[in-house]
Amino acid sequence: MIVDETIRGEIRKRLSGECLFDEPAARHTSIGVGGKIDLLLFPRDAQELREVVGFLREREIPFLPVGNWTNLIVLDGGYRGALVSLARLRSLSLRDDGHNGVRLLAEAGCPLSELVSLSAREALAGMEFCAGIPGSVGGAVRMNAGAYGGEIKEIVESVIVLDASGATRADAREELRFAYRNLDLPAETIIIGAAFRLWRDDGEKIAGRIREIVAMRKEKHPLEFRNAGSIFKNPRNCPAGRLIEEAGLKGTRIGDAQVSAKHGNFIVNRGQATAEEIVRLIVVIRQRVFENSGHNLEPEVKIIGE
């Protein structure tokens, strides 16, 4: 895609936030790979997001929203179009409903860590399972993030979206179709925020559970290397990591991309890995696991670009 000066100028008129051209994705993805992105845009707020997305649709410029760049692999050829970062949408507030319940309102760019910290300070239960998850609110809702016995769908009260027509609406929990690691929304719908229903509880108990989960993550996950989180979804009643380890794949390496020696469902960047090496390793894992167990692993990471 050719991004000429006219398009650059029109985008700058609509965007007070950062606007980057030909930006290497490797500077942003949590696993540290990816070629150049034609346009990387940072709307300042929901209104600016609406204007920028409207312009991209009007000009038929392909685009995707991105959050915290975790669970995302951009191929080495880069991305032809615009990646629209929601990182500046970080409003966060609490509203007491008067019945021992509290509504936590968060925009899509808020890191989950901020929600967990706020919950702990205010002695609010329900968010503990998110401790240590590196993503942001938008991505967590979109993929129905979960860990240690909890899922986002259990605490979501409503989700605020920007639809394909440019309209903003709030969808109540009862209207949303959550599934394992997925929220079924039309492809062009962008999550711009969510309301979570939490409840008051013993502060020490909440803090203790958060510390416990963080400690387990440090023990089990290869946090010493850049990674994209869990590579595959867990098949029903069978962790993907166990299937990968039983196939003898722990430590398997292609270039600087390696199946973690600590947790089979992580691929780590040992230093200078490319997206091609990571994708090749994903193919090897899927083939070997299928041959060994008959399970066809489904990727949890999103792969974009060319």
- pLDDT tens track for 213-255: 999 998 889 989 999 999 999 998 889 999 999 999 999 999 9
pLDDT of residue 5: 77
CA distance 66 to 40: 10
pLDDT of residue 13: 83
Average of pLDDT values for 111-117? Answer: 96
Domain final residue, candidates 171, 192, 220: 220
- 188 catalytic? Reply is no
Residues 33 and 138 in one domain: no
pLDDT-wise least confident of 96-100, 227-231, 285-289: 96-100
Residues 47 and 67 in one domain: yes
pLDDT of residue 188: 87
| Owning domain of residue 257 | 226-304
Domain final residue, candidates 85, 119, 147: 85
Q: What is the pTM of this model?
A: 0.91
Answer yes or no: are the C-beta atoms of 81 and 40 closer than 8 Å.
no
3-state secondary structure of 257: strand
Domain final residue, candidates 41, 64, 85: 85
- 300 catalytic? Reply is yes
For residue 286, give both structure tokens: 């899927």
Q: What's the CATH number where 98 sits?
A: 3.30.465.10
Single out the catalytic residue among 88, 142, 181, 288: 181
pLDDT at 302 over 90: yes
pLDDT of residue 235: 92
- CA distances to 212, 226, 276 from 254, rounded to whole Å, are 34, 15, 10
pLDDT of residue 2: 60
- 288 catalytic? Reply is no
CA distance 119 to 103: 11
What is the β-pairing status of strands 302-304 and 72-74?
parallel
Domain count, the chain: 3
Single out the catalytic residue among 30, 119, 136, 230: 230
pLDDT of residue 1: 57
Residues 133 and 215 in one domain: yes
Angle between helices 46-58 and 5-14 (to 10 degrees): 150
CA dihedral of residues 293, 182, 229, 254 (deg, nearest 10)? 50
pLDDT at 306 over 80: yes
Q: What's the CATH number where 270 sits?
A: 3.90.78.10
Q: What's the CATH number where 38 sits?
A: 3.30.43.10
Average of pLDDT values for 193-204? Answer: 96
Residues 79 and 146 in one domain: no
Mean of pLDDT over the chain: 94
